[in-house]
């Protein structure tokens, strides 16, 4: 019979977050449906990184690889950021929520 030693569980430490480059600083950071009081609305928070990813792809017309390079992130990270941003914006539009652009990290 072979004895199996108990293996210590290794603590999984995530890689450090890379510094994202954002070339856009919005002056307007809050959008809400017309005719609804702010106190009656739920708010969806979108990060500045998500707005930058949307801006680079949808307004500047950059492909994901080029946009990711401009933001100093990998293409898969940019893709996940775009999915997150689109989901939040769609939720706000479909469900009548306000959108707040936040400068803090997720």
Range of the domain at 65: 30-102
Q: Does residue 84 lie within any of the structural domains?
A: yes
**CATH number of the domain that residue 67 is part of:** 1.10.10.10
Q: Does residue 55 lie within any of the structural domains?
A: yes
Q: Does residue 65 lie within any of the structural domains?
A: yes
Taking only the tens place, the pLDDT of each residue in 41-61 is: 999 999 999 999 999 999 999
What CA dihedral angle connects 65, 70, 76 and 101, to 10 degrees?
Answer: -130
Total domain count, the chain: 1
Q: Does residue 17 lie within any of the structural domains?
A: no
Q: Does residue 11 lie within any of the structural domains?
A: no
Taking only the tens place, the pLDDT of each residue in 49-103 is: 999 999 999 999 999 999 999 999 999 999 999 999 999 999 999 999 999 999 7
Contact present, 106 and 46 (Cβ < 8 Å): no
Taking only the tens place, the pLDDT of each residue in 10-31 is: 677 776 666 666 777 888 889 9
- pTM for the complete prediction? 0.76
């Amino acid at each position: 019979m072979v004895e199996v030693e108990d293996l210590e569980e290794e603590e999984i430490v995530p890689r450090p977050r890379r510094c994202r480059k954002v070339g856009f600083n919005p002056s307007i950071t809050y959008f809400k449906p017309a005719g609804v009081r702010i106190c009656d609305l739920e708010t969806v928070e979108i990060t500045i990184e998500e707005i930058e990813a949307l801006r680079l792809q949808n307004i500047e017309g950059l492909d994901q690889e080029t946009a990711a390079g401009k933001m100093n992130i990998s293409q898969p990270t940019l893709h996940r950021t775009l999915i997150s941003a689109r989901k939040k914006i769609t939720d706000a539009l479909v469900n009548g929520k306000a959108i707040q652009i936040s400068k803090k990290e997720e």
